[in-house]
A and B are shown apart, each in its own frame.
Chain A
Amino acid sequence: MSHRTALASLVLVAGLAGGAAPVAAAVPVGGGGDPVSEALADRDLAAVKVKVKDGELPTFLWTRVRGASTYLVSVRTKKGSPLWAWSGEETKVRLGDGLGLAGPRITAPSVVQVFALDADGALVGFSKPVAIR
């Protein structure tokens, strides 16, 4: 294998495949006091609705968005300290995902926020922060 081929084999820039079935229309989301939501409020972005299922490890569920191939989940304290992030094609994830009990825990009042990205990584939807506990 040549050097160029060896390097090229490392640079397999895969696009984000997917193409989830759309269920949410592009409806602007209100601000609600969150600076991120307020900054995005008047853009033509879909509203992502998030639900939290409490438990030893909370599970987050959200609605699909037209044109989204990846969802990016942000968990942080209400004071703004980041706790965890995750991305994937699914519309449901448990805190820590595969780490399970070996992963992060909620130890302070926190929120979850979901961003929907298209195949190029561009924002196509977002949720307001939702309280975890």
Chain B
Amino acid sequence: MIRVHALRKSRSRAMAVVLGMTMVSLVPVPAGAGDGRVVAGDWSGAFSALAVYGFPVADGRIATTLTAGGPLAFTVTDGGRVQGTWSIDGFVISRVSITGVEPFSTTTNLRANGVIGGAGSGLTLTVQGGGVGPVAFGLATVDMPLTFATCDYVAGTWGVVEGAQRAAALASGSVSASGTWYAFRRASPEDAERAATIERLEFTLREVLSVVATPGGVLDRREFTRIIGEMERVQESLRDARRCVGRNWGTPFAGVIMQFLEAIANGRIDVRAQDLQTLIEGGLRTGAFVDAPPEFEGLVVGVLRVKLTAARAARDANAAEAVGIAAALLGEGALAAEAFEAERSFR
């Protein structure tokens, strides 16, 4: 159940808007490096949702991050038919800022489940039940197309149709919602357990990232890096790497990190330059830039330019240096040099 304070009505209404939109009005986002269909066999994985929304209340504002993730498992027949189930657990972090009251945060749980069907080129999730607090999900479907596929790993993203996003923004102030999904082909019974381990790690990663998405939040760099390292070790043992040599590479965390970088690029989340540097580093390490549409890298570079402008205005040497390092990682030598020159002039 949602634990609420005096703001229960407002927040519940906003959540209903977001969840209703999230589960009903989804359309494919532009495809990335997809190169095939889901091959026949048993698959295990996870899918996730991220919604960032805010709305005004009397003398203040509530900014909320909804993040959720859960396992999915399905079987693909030789004919390409998909059958399976999914469930999702998540939580909502709200930051409440009201005049005369010290800002505070609340955490709320949510849960839902359903079945999976569709063709081998993508999945369709059907929501059967579940809800968050007083909000119950109705029967709805979510199309989740493939954007990435190798012989033993598939992934995709989904987003909210622009019209619905605008309508929801009118109702609740501002809102966005998107998500990712991935699955591994299970070649052995142990693979299901390994896939579940990765799914648990992803949930922890989302917890860490949710803090960053909350206004004033700071990224726990050490925990972020540790989680990625653990995922890599499990993934190497899970994937039939030799079979996939020469194919694109990607990891289950690529979509999660790309999702946050996109939210930053679109102005839905603001982070410190130092945290942006860490997220870019994590994105490069997990393959987020491999899966991403071609314009994605340019968007991220654009954010770095904005951060450099802000660092100049504030004469913030640490932020300028972080921009320089991040730009160097992206191969943007000229921008990196510009940032390092600015950094030097501030010290």
Quick check: B337 and A39 within 8 Å, CB to CB?
yes
Residues of chain A within 8 A of B289, CB atoms compared: 82
Cβ–Cβ contact B331 & A40, under 8 A:
no
Q: Is A35 an interface residue (CB 8 A)?
A: yes
Q: Which residue in A14, A96, A122 is a CB contact (below 8 Å) of B223?
A: A14
Complex: chain A residue closest to B240, CB-CB: A102
Evaluate contact between B337 and A38: CB separation under 8 angstroms: yes
In the bound complex, how far is the Cα of B107 from the Cα of A3, in angstroms? 6
| B220 near A115: Cβ-Cβ < 8 Å | no
Interface-side segment among A22-30, A47-55, A59-67, A85-93: A85-93
Interface assignment of B314: CB less than 8 Å from any CB of chain A? no
Residues of A in contact, count (CB < 8 Å): 49
List the B side residues contacting A102 at CB < 8 Å.
235-236, 239, 241, 244, 249
Q: How many residues of B contact A (CB 8 A)?
A: 59
Contact B336 A35 (CB under 8 A): yes
Contact, CB under 8 Å: B225 / A40 = no
Total contacts A to B, CB within 8 angstroms?
138
Complex contact A85–B329 (CB within 8 A): yes
Give B230's nearest chain A residue, CB to CB.
A98
Interface residues of A in 71-105 (CB under 8 A from B): 72, 74, 76-77, 79-88, 96-105
Contact: B241 with A13, CB < 8 Å? no
Give the chain A neighbours of B297 by CB distance below 8 A: 82
B41 to chain A, nearest CB (A): 17
CA distance A16 to B221 in the complex (A): 8
Contact residues of B between 121 and 146, Cβ < 8 Å to A: none
A residues sitting closer than 8 Å to B (CB atoms) are 3-4, 6-7, 10-17, 34-36, 38-40, 43, 72, 74, 76-77, 79-88, 96-105, 113, 115, 120-123
The 8 residue pairs across chains A and B that have the minimum distance between CB atoms: A98-B232, A80-B331, A39-B337, A85-B284, A101-B241, A35-B333, A14-B222, A39-B340
